[in-house]
Amino acid sequence: MLTQEELLAKVNAAIDALVYNAQPDALYEPIRYELSLGGKRIRPVLMLMGYQLFKDDVDKIIPQAIALETYHNFTLLHDDVMDRAEMRRGRPCVHKVWGDNAAILSGDAMLILAYRLMTEQRTSDTQQPHDRHLFSALQTFTEATLGVCEGQQYDIDFEKRSDVSVAEYMEMIRLKTSLLLGCALKMGAQLAGASEADANSLYDFGEKVGLAFQLQDDLLDVYGDPAVFGKKIGGDILCNKKTFMLLSTLQMADESQRRQLDEWLAAESFDPAEKISAVRAIYDAVGIRRVCEEKIESLFAQALNSLDTLSVDADLTGPLRDFAHHLMGRQS
């Protein structure tokens, strides 16, 4: 069984070799650039970790692992166009370097490349059984990629709506971020020919960890340690972002708290520090921190529990437990 670092090295080597010499340059150069911006490569590594629970020959599914990262980077590329973002990982976004049209077309090609990688076969066995597993993984991939589009659209829709429920928010973040994490693991299992039950348990693990991570991000925006969090505290509050914190508070607030919150949401000019501290005071009053922490704990526990249901030796799931703790910034 390879370590997470060894898997990451394989993933990065394969990404470096991808479309290395492909022509025309104007189409593939932005793709090479986007892929070279780096990142933690969480999705391909998770897929390989899922596969390793059942089979050892991870090299066979490197194309599928790279497909996930290519797809993920495609979403970043097109999102940057739509958000008019300037920078991505410290370097100018593709559309800032080559223009919108190049970003659109090269992004489209990346999505197709992801599908090409998904259907690439590295096997000398009789192809039939591998085909079947590949086919299941491919359907999981499509479920994930379409779900991410839907999640992205809900996120956009929610900005314009004032009646978003916590349940709708949870479904949006599930689609936009957790689905792909869960599917990465599920696809690894499917490619290894694991049972449907095992594949679904791995999906649940990835989904729940993803949700816990997103809620923790929402929580840290309000109550995080600025030195650790990385982003400025209160950013979500200042831009009225409909996070778990805000939506739950709106749901739990009494009439006077709700009125105060609505006033801050409607305010057009304000002192940023004052808005952050006023909104946080309302959060404190309804006790939202505790609610969010409990939700995170519950999701995290569900994630770890789903590993217990796997049919594999419990020792083998150690790396996934470590991954989950590490992602949440905890000691395992």
Contact positions toward a second copy, by CB under 8 A?
A: 23-24, 26-27, 78, 81-82, 100-101, 104-105, 107-109, 111-113, 115-116, 119, 127-128, 131-132, 134-135, 138-139, 142, 145-146, 149-150, 152-154, 156-157
Question: Would you say 158 or 223 has its CB closer to a second copy?
Answer: 158
Nearest distance from residue 79's CB to a second copy, in Å? 9
Distance CA 49, CA 318 (A): 11
Question: Would you say 192 or 222 has its CB closer to a second copy?
Answer: 192
DSSP assignment of 183-231: HHHHHHHHHTT--HHHHHHHHHHHHHHHHHHHHHHHHHHHH--HHHHSS
φ and ψ at residue 240, rounded to 5 degrees: 55, 30
Residue 82 CA, chain-centre distance (Å), reads: 18
Collapsing DSSP states into helix, strand and coil, what is residue 62? helix
> Residue 331 CB: number of other CB atoms within 10 A?
5
Question: Would you say 44 or 107 has its CB closer to a second copy?
Answer: 107
Distance CA 205, CA 236 (A): 27
Dmax of the chain from CA atoms?
Answer: 69
DSSP element (H, E) containing 92: strand 91-92
Nearest distance from residue 176's CB to a second copy, in Å? 12
CA-to-CA separations, 267 to 162, 170, 270, 271, 272, in angstroms, rounded:
15, 26, 7, 10, 11
Question: Would you say 110 or 286 has its CB closer to a second copy?
Answer: 110
Question: Would you say 31 or 292 has its CB closer to a second copy?
Answer: 31
Nearest distance from residue 239's CB to a second copy, in Å? 18
Question: Would you say 65 or 291 has its CB closer to a second copy?
Answer: 65
Nearest distance from residue 288's CB to a second copy, in Å? 27
Contacts of 20 (CB under 8 A, 6+ apart): 32
Nearest distance from residue 109's CB to a second copy, in Å? 4
Nearest distance from residue 331's CB to a second copy, in Å? 39
